[in-house]
A and B are shown apart, each in its own frame.
Chain A
Amino acid sequence: DTGVSQNPRHKITKRGQNVTFRCDPISEHNRLYWYRQTLGQGPEFLTYFQNEAQLEKSRLLSDRFSAERPKGSFSTLEIQRTEQGDSAMYLCASILLRDRRTDTQYFGPGTRLTVL
């Protein structure tokens, strides 16, 4: 088990372009989270999935953002018509939720997005 992986690690794009990030969770982890982290701040919750179902979306997730986890394994986060304010580190985390006591989130290395 190699942990949570994210691709790409870095993405530079021009304002107005669309970008897509991928997260591969730890194998068999049933819950997957997306966070955004800006400089000097802690991770801010964006959305999470239980298997393939998207259970909650933050108000931070505008209609330009969409996330999917089609087969309950990997997940993608797409940002349409990127803005400079979207520049941040996008973190993915996964857990195997068997009961609430065991929910330690394991994080990927993140995708750093820079919008020019």
Chain B
Amino acid sequence: AQSVAQPEDQVNVAEGNPLTVKCTYSVSGNPYLFWYVQYPNRGLQFLLKYITGDNLVKGSYGFEAEFNKSQTSFHLKKPSALVSDSALYFCAVRDGNRDDKIIFGKGTRLHILP
């Protein structure tokens, strides 16, 4: 069965600094990996995904993520943080070899300090 770990409950970053939100995964087949963002009292918004191809995936709002197969990681990054990036971020994984559901991590709260 697949699983996702987001080791940090909260990440604090000063505005303008680069940010990283960590994610590691476990899946028996080919990993399909996703990042979603959730603002207060809102549903989840899709940011980016890795299915195959280039390990560096670019997504919405200037975010990108790097797939690292050897470390089973898919960390979310942004070169310069904005206060408006403050939100709850979820990493998710699906087994690409199976017609199966997506499993989410417990989330990381990103707090950008002005």
Contacts and interface: CB of A to CB of B under 8 A. Distances in A.
A13 to B, nearest CB: 19
A105 interface: yes
B99 to A, nearest CB: 7
B94 A43 contact: no
Interface residues of B, number: 25
Nearest to B95: A100
B44 A107 contact: yes
A41 B106 CA distance: 5
A59 to B, nearest CB: 12
B14 interface: no
A39 B32 CA distance: 26
B96 A43 contact: no
Interface in B63-97: 90, 92, 94, 96
Contact of A43 (B41, B46, B49, B104): B104
A104 B44 contact: no
Interface residues of A, number: 25
A104 B34 contact: yes
Contacts of A45: 101-103
Interface of B: 4, 32, 34, 36, 41-46, 49, 51-52, 90, 92, 94, 96, 99, 101-107
Given A100-B99, A105-B34, 20 more contacts: A4-B43, A33-B102, A41-B106, A42-B104, A42-B105, A42-B106, A43-B90, A43-B104, A45-B102, A48-B101, A91-B43, A100-B96, A101-B51, A101-B52, A105-B46, A107-B36, A107-B44, A109-B41, A109-B43, A110-B43
Interface of A: 4, 6, 33, 35, 40-45, 48, 56, 91, 93, 100-101, 103-110, 112
8 contacts: A33-B102, A45-B103, A100-B99, A104-B46, A107-B36, A109-B42, A109-B43, A112-B41
